[in-house]
Amino acid sequence: MLSSRVAAYIKTSVSINSLRVPLTDAVKSLGRFVYPLAFYNEGSEYELSMVGSAFAIRVLGCNVLISSLHQLDVGGTKRNPGEAVMVIDTNSGSLAITGNAFHRVKIDQYGVKTEQDVLILRFADCHEGRCITPNFCRLDSEQFMDHSDIPFGGELLAYVAIGFPNGHRSYEFGWAEETSTVLQGDVRSRWVRVYLDAAAPSAWDKDGLVPFQIDSEQVNAIGDLDGLSGSPILMIWQGSDLQAHLAIAGMVLYGSKTGRLNAFPGRRLGDIIAKISRPMNRRATDHYRNA
């Protein structure tokens, strides 16, 4: 359910994947498109490594999984973006899919360094004859917004981040009695919703990023906040006609143990995704330069 501070005075709906969804169910509905950023580990006790969060979206006919590049360095081993998998549920069980290409931002001497931490994995519409587009949330490029983009007369209702913090992860193993060895284990993770407040800039914040703050009560309830990198930040706002709207206000890149977050701006993120939404390039790497 959406926070009571919002739901108490809004009785309307927002559009998600071309369907009208009650505002109180919007966050839960979008949670279906937020995944742990995962890697397959051949021969390891842990079949999958989960290193944070990622958001699966379809913009301008392009399927992308957006996350942060620094998540590839978690755990002491640098992973290749081509090793990342998106784990989806099917009628026959879970299916791990690798992307067809990856994109990252390269800046010149005048660019903002934090832009280099944006990672975009691109997926074709079908995988081995299976259509996977329903696993991506359809968004218009205009839905990537900053707070300043809310039209005159509009009102911000809430910021909500959706992600997979480490505090909500568990590890399950089997045991082989005959050989007294640990069997391959499962890593289970569940997403959480986190309500945010806009924060005034501080010395801790990084250039070019938007500061947010999680209140102490939520921080204590969530526990370990690591893993929120790559989480989308939803901005729910109301127009002068009292209609509610849903936008992507950014993506979490960095956070502190006290609940302070720095996010990549929504409008800029939308600009980058729009520029790479061209016919599929099947090269392993596809670098997008500062624009």
Q: Are strands 210-213 and 260-265 parallel, antiparallel or unpaired?
A: antiparallel
Q: Could you read off the pLDDT tens digit of each residue along the chain, which spans 291 residues? A: 455 545 544 456 676 766 777 766 778 888 889 998 888 777 776 677 778 899 999 999 999 999 998 888 866 778 888 888 888 877 777 788 888 888 878 766 555 778 888 999 999 999 888 899 999 999 988 999 999 999 999 999 899 999 988 755 544 434 334 433 333 445 455 678 889 999 999 999 998 999 999 988 888 887 777 788 999 999 999 888 888 888 999 999 998 888 999 999 999 999 999 888 765 444 333 333 333
Nearest partner of 97 among 59, 54, 44, judged by Cα: 54
Domain boundaries, the chain: 4-285
Q: Are 162 and 30 in contact (CB under 8 A)?
A: yes
Q: Is the pTM of this model over 0.85?
A: no
Q: Which CATH superfamily is domain 4-285 in?
A: Trypsin-like serine proteases (2.40.10.10)
How big is the chain, counted in residues? 291
Distances from the Cα of 187 to the Cα of 46, 51, 66, 168, angstroms? 7, 11, 22, 11
Q: What gap in Å lies between CA 52 and CA 74, rounded to an integer?
A: 9
Q: Which residues pair with 88 in a beta bridge?
A: 95
